[in-house]
């Protein structure tokens, strides 16, 4: 596992992405959020070493919306803060997916998609989701969307 530094943004682990700098900014933006909100250090693992996290995220995407991404996963993160379990996948294309699963409140469970600056909307999501724009000092313009999880995982 490697801790994500949100003060000195690094592309380590994301170098093969055509939008590596923007993806690194997006990853750092998430790290800053978790540190500021929960005092949690955001750590990532190479996708090749975290098949269980990939399987979990893929299972939720397929069961809930029939979505399977062609993009190559580069890194994952999986942890719990307070009563919420999080799983993240950062893809070579510049896409970030997170599964937020509140343990004791089925109404607060969702899958979020974030597209880093410079990437097109993936074909798997095109026309199915509306993306809101958000400005970030670390990541430029982030486009995001989500859906609520209906089943138990």
**Does residue 45 sit within a domain?**
yes
Please state the pTM of the whole predicted model. 0.96
**Does residue 89 sit within a domain?**
yes
Total tally of structural domains belonging to the chain? 1
**Does residue 52 sit within a domain?**
yes
**Does residue 66 sit within a domain?**
yes
**Does residue 93 sit within a domain?**
yes
**Does residue 116 sit within a domain?**
yes
The pLDDT confidence band at residue 10, using thresholds 50, 70 and 90, is very high
- Summarize pLDDT for 16-51 with one digit per residue, the tens: 999 999 999 999 999 999 999 999 999 999 999 999
Q: How many CB atoms lie within 10 A of CB 49?
A: 11
- Summarize pLDDT for 90-124 with one digit per residue, the tens: 999 999 999 999 999 999 999 999 999 999 999 99
Percent of the chain exceeding pLDDT 90 equals 99
Q: Are strands 140-148 and 84-91 parallel, antiparallel or unpaired?
A: unpaired
**Does residue 140 sit within a domain?**
yes
Residues spanned by the domain of 115? 2-148
| Ramachandran bin of 33, using left for φ above 0, alpha for ψ from -120 to 50, beta for the remaining angles | alpha
Q: Which residue in 151, 68, 146 sits closest to 110, CA to CA?
A: 146
**Does residue 153 sit within a domain?**
no
DSSP notation for the chain: -EEPPSSS---TT-TTSTTHHHHHHHHHHHHHHHHHHH-PPPEEEEGGG-HHHHHHHHHHHHHHH-----SPEEEEEEEEETTEEEEEEEETTSEEEEEEEETT-TTSEEEEEEE-TT-PPPTTTTTT---EEEEETTTEEEEEEEEE--S--
């Amino acid at each position: 596992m490697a801790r994500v530094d949100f003060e000195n943004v690094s592309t380590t682990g994301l170098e093969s992405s055509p939008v590596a700098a923007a993806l690194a900014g997006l990853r750092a933006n998430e790290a800053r959020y978790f540190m500021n909100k929960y005092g949690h250090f955001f750590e990532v693992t190479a996708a090749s070493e975290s098949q269980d996290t990939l399987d979990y995220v893929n299972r939720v995407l397929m069961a809930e919306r029939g979505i399977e991404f062609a993009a190559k996963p580069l890194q994952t993160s999986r942890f719990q803060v307070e009563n919420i379990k999080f799983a993240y996948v950062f893809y070579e294309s510049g896409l970030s997916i997170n599964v937020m699963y509140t343990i004791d409140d089925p109404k607060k469970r969702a899958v979020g998609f974030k597209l880093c600056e410079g990437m097109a909307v993936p074909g798997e999501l095109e026309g199915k989701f509306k993306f809101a724009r958000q400005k970030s000092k670390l990541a430029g313009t982030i486009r995001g969307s989500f859906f609520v999880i209906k089943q138990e995982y």
